[in-house]
A and B are shown apart, each in its own frame.
Chain A
């Protein structure tokens, strides 16, 4: 796995909010086909790091290279990069004024310039994959949280991205709906999608992650395989964190 190509290369990235160091000299590589799970206490910079991978945040120092493209370079067309980087948010952010099918088709037609038929064909397959094919013509307001989040995942996948980012995709869900979303993500990981997932679902992390990244105070403090991290970490902060959540 580690010999495969580096899709995301993060090099010495720092970011400040005023005096607060939200990211502290973070360096990280994410390889093709890898599932990386980022964990850490609240406020440790997980979202900020994830959002710097598709430039939803600005950074104050360092570099982010995606598939060979320096995304913070002035000359880079960030919209081209974002086509290849799907993102799923804690609050779903589905488009409430569009049906499920239209949610999936919008960026495909507007950004990828696919024809309506092409887009619909792709959307149908994805809706089937995430298990909400029968909801294609509903508006999101009629769907449960778990269903909306699966729409959001399918919408991101419809762009055929090279990498998917997930920022606490199940944190806003009622407990009984968490499983259906995690199942979809597990399936994706097994199919070889490159994924970066911020989550508090330790079961998922242990089972699906190739690598765990532990962050604290804006820095990557520890990383390793789930086995190394959960059972054999020597890092005090990581141990403290694990003792609090497990």
Chain B
């Protein structure tokens, strides 16, 4: 009958898509991260230095696109977190109506490819409301990733032992006080790694918005290439820049995770 002498620990949520996040204890991945990062930076520098024609011209042309990629990514991340939290809480709600709506949202959105959603919001719904391409891109990405995040939030909250809720409620805390003070602060720890993965996946998927004539990194590359016909050189540079950005982002997510798990 005696259980272990210590308090119940929340289970780990294991959902993984997108880039791997380097952790200190994973030596192999950590080294791979270094090799890839240093390698990519070195190649960029070498290309620009030894063959400024066309590489230096390309790299001067791309920053506007990097800026747009960042803008779309960050706006989509923030908005998808909001959608994800609302839908995730909806998915565990006892209220059948709220639960139904949230579940429907998640099921529908997860069943439609992001590229189709982008087309749908920009071209199909564009028939009724004409919004700027960038706004449509952010809305589509947020709705899509919000559904993924919702599942992560739901899983993270589900992983908190039921006893935590019971203890809080037995002290007279309301359901929302319990969520705010007891459940979410604990869920953040289990949620952060998979959410970090989603950030990285979202950054990469943001290249899809180039199809809506949003001048992101990929689109700028395409514009340069179609005028100069330097397809190989341009897309090599674009790929290297995506790689560097993704590696930096995964590093940041890794640092953030370490901080949170040390926080005790």
Chain A residues near B (Cβ < 8 Å) = 54, 56, 79-80, 82-83, 85-87, 89-97, 106-107, 110-112, 139-141, 144-145, 148, 152, 155-156, 159, 171-174, 177
Contact of B1 among A139, A155, A171, A174 (CB under 8 A): A171
Chain B residues near A (Cβ < 8 Å) = 1-9, 161, 163-164, 166-174, 177, 181-182, 185-186, 264
**Distance (Å) between the CB of B261 and the closest chain A CB?**
12
A-side contacts of B2, CB under 8 Å: 171-174
Cβ–Cβ contact B5 & A174, under 8 A: yes
Cβ–Cβ contact A110 & B173, under 8 A: yes
Cβ–Cβ contact B182 & A95, under 8 A: yes
A-side contacts of B167, CB under 8 Å: 87, 89, 93-95, 152, 155
**Distance (Å) between the CB of B225 and the closest chain A CB?**
51
A82 nearest in chain B by CB position? B172
Cβ–Cβ contact A155 & B7, under 8 A: no
Contact of A111 among B4, B6, B163, B177 (CB under 8 A): B177
A-side contacts of B7, CB under 8 Å: 91-94, 96, 140-141, 148
Cβ–Cβ contact A177 & B5, under 8 A: yes
- In the assembled complex, the Cα of A96 lies from the Cα of B163 at a distance in Å of 12
**Distance (Å) between the CB of A36 and the closest chain B CB?**
18
Cβ–Cβ contact A96 & B186, under 8 A: yes
Contact of A89 among B1, B4, B166 (CB under 8 A): B166
Cβ–Cβ contact B173 & A144, under 8 A: no
**Distance (Å) between the CB of A88 and the closest chain B CB?**
9
Cβ–Cβ contact A89 & B172, under 8 A: no
Cβ–Cβ contact B166 & A139, under 8 A: no
**Distance (Å) between the CB of A245 and the closest chain B CB?**
12
Extra pairs beyond A89-B163, A97-B264 (13, CB < 8 Å):
A54-B170, A80-B172, A89-B166, A90-B3, A91-B7, A93-B164, A93-B167, A106-B171, A111-B173, A144-B5, A155-B167, A156-B170, A174-B2
**Distance (Å) between the CB of A81 and the closest chain B CB?**
8
**Distance (Å) between the CB of B154 and the closest chain A CB?**
19
A-side contacts of B9, CB under 8 Å: 96
- In the assembled complex, the Cα of A168 lies from the Cα of B168 at a distance in Å of 18
A96 nearest in chain B by CB position? B7
B-side contacts of A95, CB under 8 Å: 164, 167-168, 182, 186
B186 nearest in chain A by CB position? A97
- In the assembled complex, the Cα of A152 lies from the Cα of B169 at a distance in Å of 14
- In the assembled complex, the Cα of A145 lies from the Cα of B174 at a distance in Å of 27
A-side contacts of B3, CB under 8 Å: 90-91, 172
- In the assembled complex, the Cα of A26 lies from the Cα of B166 at a distance in Å of 23
A-side contacts of B169, CB under 8 Å: 56, 82
B-side contacts of A177, CB under 8 Å: 5
**Distance (Å) between the CB of A238 and the closest chain B CB?**
21
B-side contacts of A156, CB under 8 Å: 170-171
Cβ–Cβ contact B6 & A56, under 8 A: no
Cβ–Cβ contact A145 & B6, under 8 A: yes
19 contacts between A and B (CB under 8 A): A56-B169, A91-B8, A92-B163, A94-B167, A95-B182, A95-B186, A106-B171, A106-B173, A111-B173, A112-B172, A139-B264, A145-B6, A156-B170, A172-B2, A172-B4, A173-B2, A174-B2, A174-B5, A177-B5
A-side contacts of B171, CB under 8 Å: 82-83, 86, 106-107, 111, 155-156, 159
- In the assembled complex, the Cα of A155 lies from the Cα of B171 at a distance in Å of 9
- In the assembled complex, the Cα of A91 lies from the Cα of B3 at a distance in Å of 8
Cβ–Cβ contact A56 & B172, under 8 A: no
**Distance (Å) between the CB of A41 and the closest chain B CB?**
13
- In the assembled complex, the Cα of A107 lies from the Cα of B174 at a distance in Å of 10
- In the assembled complex, the Cα of A54 lies from the Cα of B169 at a distance in Å of 9
- In the assembled complex, the Cα of A139 lies from the Cα of B169 at a distance in Å of 21
B-side contacts of A111, CB under 8 Å: 171-173, 177
A-side contacts of B1, CB under 8 Å: 171
